[in-house]
Structure 1
Amino acid sequence: MLTSILSLVGVGFLWGATNPFIRIGSKGIQNINTGSRIQNFIQEVRLIGSRLGYWIPFLLNQLGSVLYVYTLQSASISVAVPIANSLSFAFTAVVGYLLGEKIPGKNVIIGTVLVTLGTSMIIYDKLKEQSMKVDIYSR
């Protein structure tokens, strides 16, 4: 169980920490407007396709998805979903701030703290549940 939890923390980190870098790497795509949907698509693909600053974080993000699917083999989905998604949110807020994005507002900070506390309670409960099972089987 501990390995699964650490893997889910890694998933949350890979998903969350890469979001601000993907946002930076795709900067300027919203300014493409050729008047043609096909030309817009071609220009957007050309812009994104030529930026390592987009692709490296994107591939790391996808690595997080692979780790997530692998972790689902041993983790309960009722634990995996809230841990990975909530930590992703928290890591996105922290890394975005460290990269110079606007200072998170009071609500974002409170939300991040509450998400972290809730995730901690889920982890604590699952670890406690597992240790109780070990105690029962060892008797």
Structure 2
Amino acid sequence: MYTIAPSPTPILLSDPVTSAPPDTSAPSILRYIIGFLLIGIAWGFTTPFIRAAARTHQPPSHPILSSPSVTNSFLKSKLYGAFFGVVDLLRNPRYAIPLVVNLTGSIWFFLLIGQAELSLTVPITNSLAFLFTVLGEWWVERKVISRDTWIGMILSLCGIALCVHSKTG
């Protein structure tokens, strides 16, 4: 059995001479705004690019999918089909690059949610993702943004402003 022997010299938990004061400063509001915008762009603006690439994707043929050992097994045919479907899309840069940017938005969100207030982070990032999705559709697909959509976007921005004001005021 092990025992812990007392230390011959006392250990101070905080030495005022050598220890630095803890950093209590929170990140600036500008860093939060940039974080919210980057997440909104990563989630929203990339979605139309991913959709356009998936819509126009022409997968190559895979002879193994038509082999008797695969076609005779339901499980093998589904697994091989799903595997080649994912691999073919990921090998397409028109799909893979926006997907990677979109997924990095999730990483940024995870990092931001640990610092920012949850009741602000979720509605702000989701609203911004919606706004950037509309702008991305306009950019990629040349969709016309209707008057009602513009009104909805403005109301979303007003809702974001009200959320922020209620937490800071």
Category of TM-score, reference length = shorter chain: 0.7 to 0.9
- Residue 132 of structure 1 is matched in structure 2 by none
Instruction: Tell whether 2:39 aligns with 1:11.
Output: yes
Most deviating of 39-48 and 16-25: 39-48
List gaps (5 residues or longer) in structure 1: 130-139
> Deviation at 1:115?
0.7
Corresponding residue for 1:112? 153
Q: Contact 1:4–1:74 (CA<8 Å) still a contact in 2?
A: no
Aligned length: 127
Which entry has the higher C-alpha Rg, 1 or 2? 2
Distance 1:68 1:42, change over 3 A: closer
Q: Which amino acid aligns with 2:95?
A: Y
Q: Distance in 1 between matches of 2:131 and 2:121?
A: 15
Q: Secondary structure at the match of 1:102?
A: coil
Note if 1:70 corresponds to 2:98.
Answer: no
2:127 pairs, out of 70, 86, 90, with 86
Q: Secondary structure at the match of 2:132?
A: helix
1:25 aligns with 2:66: no
Structure 2 residue runs of 5 or longer lacking an equivalent are: 1-27, 58-64, 66-76
Q: Per-residue CA shift, 1:10-52, capped at 9, x if unaligned?
A: 11111111111111121146xxxx9x75565355334313211
% identity of equivalent residues = 28
Query: TM-score by structure 1 length?
Result: 0.75
Deviation at 1:99, TM superposition (A): 1.9
Question: In the TM superposition, what whole-angstrom CA distance separates every residue of 1:47-70 from its partner, at most 9, and x where no partner exists?
Answer: 313211111001101111111110
When the two chains are superposed, the root-mean-square deviation of aligned CA atoms in Å is 2.7
